[in-house]
Amino acid sequence: MKTKLLMCCACAVAVALAFAAFAPVTAQRGDAAGPLITVMNPAIESKMVDRIPMTAPRLDTLDGKTLYLVDINWGGPDAAYSVFEEMVDWFAKNKPTVKTIIKRKAGMYTQDDPALWKEIAANGNAALIGISG
């Protein structure tokens, strides 16, 4: 898993350097003889949404608990499974009392899956919901 993370970081740095190397430089004096630069204002023009705090209490321990690993279907059907399978193996070796269940959310990542959330609420103690690429 560390190897995948390092490879992803290395790829991200390589892509950033590649784009920086080919980016045109247009900054000049600003007179009519040359091009002007366009600057984007990073300030937020609209009001931020109100944050709603997480209401679920944290578990003191995962020992004896059921942990759902939920793939939200972002990045294709197999994007997260290999990472989640490594997590299942890790828990089996290092925390054998933790029951891990891998589930794939129905529909696209933007769609709700009430049946899965109901299953997790009824049978699980915690859920890790995410993606991996």
Q: Are strands 66-71 and 99-104 parallel, antiparallel or unpaired?
A: parallel
Is 122 or 111 the better-scoring residue by pLDDT? 122
Closest CA to 77 of 101, 105, 100: 105
Looking at residue 11, its amino acid is: C
Q: Which residue has the higher pLDDT, 18 or 104?
A: 104
Separation CA 44–CA 23 (nearest Å) = 26
In the three-class reduction of DSSP (H, G, I as helix; E, B as strand; rest coil), residue 21 is classed as helix
pLDDT digits (tens, 9 = 90+) for 6-21: 454 444 544 444 444 4
The pTM for the full model equals 0.58
- Give the residue with greater pLDDT, 5 vs 122: 122
